[in-house]
Amino acid sequence: MFETRFTVFSEARGFPPNNFARVYSFGDPVVGPNMPLFSDQVAGTVSVDTAPLATSSARFAIHGPDLIRPLHLLLWGFDAAMAVVPITLDADLNVNVSEDPVEGPASIPLTFVDSGDDSTPIDEVILYVALDKDPNAGTQQPASFRVEDADGAILFESDLENFGELVRDPRNGLGWRDAQSAQNAKIWRLMETAPPFSRVDGHGRPVVAKLRVTGPDNAMIQAVVAFGVNRNGPRPVVVPLVHHLPSIAQTNPWVDTHQDAAGRDMPLPLCPTASRQ
């Protein structure tokens, strides 16, 4: 839960090209393995009590007549201990947002989620992956996201379609505002989770998430964020899985089979979680 004070920011920010993603973060920079992503950072004090928020408390709005058609919108935060707090989730949207009433509404409500726990069955994964700045950060090799039990048995695996479309992030300084150059990140909605899995395996041990690139052309990873979703209730139940920045965690950002088969997987530590309610 956040504190009850909330500072609103209004600063122009652009959107990436079609089929790419971007993280917009608000708040004070925090050094730690789960620090916010800085693909678009607005510094300042942000704190809000998420428990009493009503259905229309969180909205996505645009200022201007040039419409936007978002596909996926996710909102999450961090508590004082830097545990990940899921707040809203909207996937596969089909709506135009514009201040021109002919084109669509100027704002849309975001769907609040309930917070799951380690035992919540997960039947869907929302995955965000961003490449880093190195000129060789991109790859044309197949990539996948997988979850294993503590003994290495596969609980879930899904290919990442069009991973090869990602290119390095060329932006620096105020170049962060150059949205059209932001082609280094994507969001995947992975739904092949039959049977469902959870944050712990059948013996109560934490599962192991991994990003895999199969082949000699390696990829340099800037960030990986993953949320598990259960949609069997009146609104989505969301379980944070991964919030990993190799540069901050001081782990190897490269993933491939360049030297040996064991190097093809990037282990992704499970992130600490906190409830929105």
3-state secondary structure the chain: CCCCCCCCCCCCCCCCCCCCCCCCEECCCCCCCCCCCCCCEECCCCCCCCCCCCCCCCEEECCCCCCECCCCEEEEEECCCCCEEEEEEECCCCCCECCCCCCCCCEEECCECEECCCCCCECEEEEEEEECCCCCCCCCCCEEEEEECCCCCEEEEEECCCHHHCCCCCCCHHHHHCHHHCCCEEEEEECCCCCCECCECCCCCECEEEEEECCCCCEEEEEEEEEEEECCCCCCEEEEEEEECHHHHCCCCEECCCCCHHHHEEEECECCECCCC
User: Considering the domain boundaries, does residue 131 fall inside one?
Assistant: yes
* pLDDT exceeds cutoff 50 at 3: no
pLDDT at 227: 98
Q: Per the structure, how many domains does the chain have?
A: 1
Q: How far apart are CA 199 and CA 97, in angstroms?
A: 36
* pLDDT exceeds cutoff 80 at 234: yes
Rounded to whole angstroms, the maximal C-alpha distance in the chain is 57
User: Considering the domain boundaries, does residue 32 fall inside one?
Assistant: no
More confident residue, 5 or 247: 247
21: exposed, middle or buried (Cβ count in 10 Å: 0-12, 13-18, 19+): buried
For residues 199-215, give the mean pLDDT.
Answer: 95
- The domain that holds 152 is classified in CATH as 2.60.60.20
- Convert the pLDDT of each residue in 74-117 to its tens digit: 999 888 888 999 999 999 999 999 999 899 999 999 999 999 99
User: Considering the domain boundaries, does residue 165 fall inside one?
Assistant: yes
Name the amino acid, one letter, at 135: P
pLDDT at 39: 58
User: Considering the domain boundaries, does residue 117 fall inside one?
Assistant: no
User: Considering the domain boundaries, does residue 72 fall inside one?
Assistant: no
Candidate from 18-32, 135-149, 215-229, 244-258 with smallest mean pLDDT: 18-32
* pLDDT exceeds cutoff 90 at 212: yes
**What is the Rg, in whole angstroms, of the alpha carbon atoms belonging to the chain?**
18
User: Considering the domain boundaries, does residue 82 fall inside one?
Assistant: no
User: Considering the domain boundaries, does residue 226 fall inside one?
Assistant: yes
User: Considering the domain boundaries, does residue 83 fall inside one?
Assistant: no
Please report, rounded to a whole number, the percentage of residues in the chain having pLDDT higher than 90. Answer: 52
Please report, rounded to a whole number, the percentage of residues in the chain having pLDDT higher than 70. Answer: 82
More confident residue, 106 or 259: 106
Closest to 185 measured CA to CA, from 254, 138, 243, 232: 138
What's the whole-model pTM score? 0.89
pLDDT at 103: 92
| Domain housing 246 | 124-268
